[in-house]
Amino acid sequence: MRGFLLNRLSQSLVLLVIVSIIGFGILNLLPGGPLAQFGLDPGMTQQDIERLKGLLGLDRPIWIQYLDWAWRLVRGDWGHSFRDGAPVLEVIGSHLFATLLLMGSSTVIAISIGAWIGIRGATRRYSLFDYLATVGAMVALSVPTFWFGLVGIYVFSLKLGWLPAGNMSEIGDGSILGYLHHLILPSIVLSLVHVAIWSRYMRTATLDAISQDFVKTARAKGLSERRILMKHVVGNALLPMITLAGMQLPSVLTGALVTETVFTWPGMGRLFLDSLGYSDYPVVMGLLMFSAILVLLGNLIADIVVAIVDPRIRLA
């Protein structure tokens, strides 16, 4: 177990370094490079910029600049927002909860509905339900999230008037019920693609588990089909799902950005787009690095949870 943890941890660190190199490359691609935030200031002349370059050490070799930049990231000095001068990490922090809430609720929806479809499809293989679920999943994977959001708003907000068309709450309404009411539509929109993915994985995993010997043993013991399915089949099929949940993180974050834009949801995705609109590159860079680190962390946690739950790794 300890060996596994150390190995896994060092893998994550290596990836973190590579991610930071990619991030640094993009930072230098941005118009004006690391000085982008000053380049847009009309009060700055070319000489000022040259002088700043010297002051900030941008005339040094590129790898020293990289080390300097990376060290500041590690220390938590992610620069300041170009818009209001607030530290980038604080700005991101204030938008984190909304995004995590949206991602969490849509993941719950995606896993529960997806798992149900997958298990039902696997136990009734080649039935009409299974066929429709397979085709439906492929179509669901092809629907642009923002378009599904627009159609959802059109039907449920504009035509039926059941659900709000955007924002996290009404102004002055702090009730939990109000928040939940606003959460329903964006969560469903964000979950569509992932319901499809989960249902496909769950179907495969269930089919794999059904053909295992321990299921035959359980049948031979005389357990009811329902008990076999719930305890032995689903229990074993669920384990890889934890890893999958980690692997899904980049795509959930991508979906969240688009969903937040359509529903004016005050999360990281909206912040990213707003910052791009204002050419607020410190925040853009911060969010880019933050989302990648979130993904690395998510995968690491998923693998550790699997290691704790799975006796084959835990006891190794």
| Of 232 and 263, CB closest to other proteins | 263
139 binds other proteins (CB under 8 A): yes
243 CB-contact burial (10 Å; exposed 0-12 / middle 13-18 / buried 19+)? middle
Per-residue x/- marks for other proteins, 167-196, CB under 8 A? -----------------------------x
96 binds other proteins (CB under 8 A): no
Per-residue x/- marks for other proteins, 26-55, CB under 8 A? x--xxx------------------------
The least CB distance from residue 226 to other proteins, in Å, is 28
| Of 153 and 241, CB closest to other proteins | 153
115 binds other proteins (CB under 8 A): no
| Of 9 and 14, CB closest to other proteins | 14
254 binds other proteins (CB under 8 A): yes
Interface with other proteins (CB under 8 A)? 14-15, 18-19, 21-22, 26, 29-31, 135, 137-139, 141-147, 150-151, 153-154, 158, 196-197, 200, 204, 249-251, 253-254, 257-258, 261-262, 272-273, 276, 279, 284-285, 287-288, 291-292, 295-296
